[in-house]
Amino acid sequence: MLLGLLRKKGLTVLKLESKSAGDQITDTDVRQALARFFAQTSPATPLDTGDDGLELLSSGLLDSLAMVQLTMFLADELGFELSDEDFTEANFATLGSLVRLVSRKRNLVL
């Protein structure tokens, strides 16, 4: 239901290139996927994927709607779900902290 509502508003979930079984996702893969995700959700604000200190929460790049979309993106396209313990300000505050969270969680399921 929520995914349908997001798609009606023109917001799409983006797909990360498939990895073959046993391949680990790299930080570069994660950064590229997040750049595409944020380009879709915040097209007016280009993402510098090399800036680990880029503030996501305080800058508004990651708001409540983007958090829902990001959670669906991670589950649908990268093959894992975040646990309640993952939803901390520290994990989502900066680009670097988000990249580390995604890489760590994704590589646990491969």
Domains of the chain (ranges; CATH) run: 22-109 (1.10.1200.10)
CB 74 within 8 A of CB 26: no
Q: Which residue has better confidence, 94 or 39? A: 94
Confidence of residue 23 (pLDDT cuts 50, 70, 90): low
Mean pLDDT calculated for residue range 9-13 = 45
Mean of the per-residue pLDDT values for the chain? 77
**Three-class secondary structure of residue 94 per DSSP:** strand
Beta bridge partners of 94: 55
pLDDT in tens, 42-77: 888 878 888 999 999 999 889 888 888 998 987 777
Q: Is it the case that residue 19 has pLDDT exceeding 50?
A: no
pTM equals 0.72
Which residue reads 């009606």 in tokens?
A: 8
